[in-house]
Amino acid sequence: FSTVNNNAPVTRRTYTELNMRQPIMAGNWKMNPATEADALNLANGFCALLNEMADTCAMDDKEGCTEVVLFPPFPFISKVKDIVAKNGISVGAQQVYYEDKGAFTGSVAASMVKSVGCEYVLCGHSERRTLFSDSDVNINSKVKKVLEFGMKPILCIGETQEEYDLKITKEVCAMQVSKDLAGVSKQEMKNVVIAYEPVWAIGTGLVCDAESANEVHKYIRSVLSKMYDDEVAQSMRIQYGGSVTPDSVDGLMAMSDIDGCLVGGASLYADKFARIVNFQPLE
């Protein structure tokens, strides 16, 4: 890990120059902030900081730079999109239901989030799995529904603390990948992103060390290679998530198989998330 100087000017090269898959940084606001006014302040503050940063990666040139996606709570999506879209930043939904419409009180359909401009949808986040009983079967239906509506699922997988202690991280990830992506075609996989999030690292401050995370990412690619082929495995973008901060992002992004981060807590601070988006690749 390099020592991070948060005030250092950021020198950027495009991901193609760095011979990387296009990095994707996502901010999952979860059930925050409390009001629309606070959400719009956060979005405005984040964009203002990106604009201040010289040669920033989030601007305009989506082909050449880091892709940035924000996941605000449903009620704030439209207005946040209005603020961030002009900076080349996309918005996504934190979850959808797999049915198209009907008597599902409290649920939100893929068509609805698509119609307000969502490009991405989180599927299988561990908080949905544990707190809202999202099963692999349901997650698979949601992934397919998101793809059907022309959006891109970010499939979240990862082991719990107990599974980590039992040293079955790889088995858990392989099982989740195979069940959650069952029936997804090779063509559709171009629109899928995977986020490896060890559950024990989420919101705990316990960031998985970069080398260990990278090993799991490589293993996930080997699973994808068996399910599909090498082309899918090597082109798939795999994010790391779990207590990512400005201090840990550079080391994570220096790893060969980590293509971005799914950030929770730190994405609620405009300055922290702007610094994460502007990670500094280690030479």
Q: Where along the sequence are the contacts to ligand G3H (CB under 6 A)?
A: 28, 125, 197, 202-203, 241-244, 262-266
Q: Report in angstroms how near the CB of residue 240 gets to ligand G3H at its nearest.
A: 9
Q: Which of 125, 127, 159, 217 is catalytic?
A: 125
Ramachandran sector of residue 60 (left: φ over 0; alpha: ψ -120 to 50; beta: rest): left
Q: Report in angstroms how near the CB of residue 45 gets to ligand G3H at its nearest.
A: 18
Residues near 243 by beta carbon (within 8 Å), at least 6 away in sequence: 201, 202, 203, 204, 205, 206, 207, 265
Q: Report in angstroms how near the CB of residue 264 gets to ligand G3H at its nearest.
A: 2
Distance CA 120, CA 84 (A): 15
Residues near 145 by beta carbon (within 8 Å), at least 6 away in sequence: 96, 98, 100, 110
Give the SS3 label for residue 220: helix
Please say whether the beta carbons of 31 and 74 come within 8 A: no
Q: Which of 119, 159, 197, 217 is catalytic?
A: 197
- Residue 197 annotated among the catalytic residues of the structure: yes
Distance CA 72, CA 66 (A): 19
**Helices (DSSP H) in 72-168: which residue ranges?**
77-84, 110-115, 126-131, 136-148, 161-165
- Residue 125 annotated among the catalytic residues of the structure: yes
- The residue number whose beta carbon is nearest to ligand G3H equals 264
Q: Which is nearer to ligand G3H, 59 or 202 (CB)?
A: 202
Q: Which is nearer to ligand G3H, 233 or 252 (CB)?
A: 252
> Two tokens at 268?
């609620």
Q: Which is nearer to ligand G3H, 23 or 59 (CB)?
A: 23
Distance CA 235, CA 254 (A): 17
Distance CA 119, CA 153 (A): 9
Q: Which is nearer to ligand G3H, 92 or 264 (CB)?
A: 264
Residue type, 215: E
Q: Report in angstroms how near the CB of residue 268 gets to ligand G3H at its nearest.
A: 9
Q: Report in angstroms how near the CB of residue 27 gets to ligand G3H at its nearest.
A: 8
Rounded to the nearest 5 degrees, what angle is found at the Cα of 21, between the Cα atoms of 272 and 118?
60
Which positions are annotated as active-site residues? 125, 197
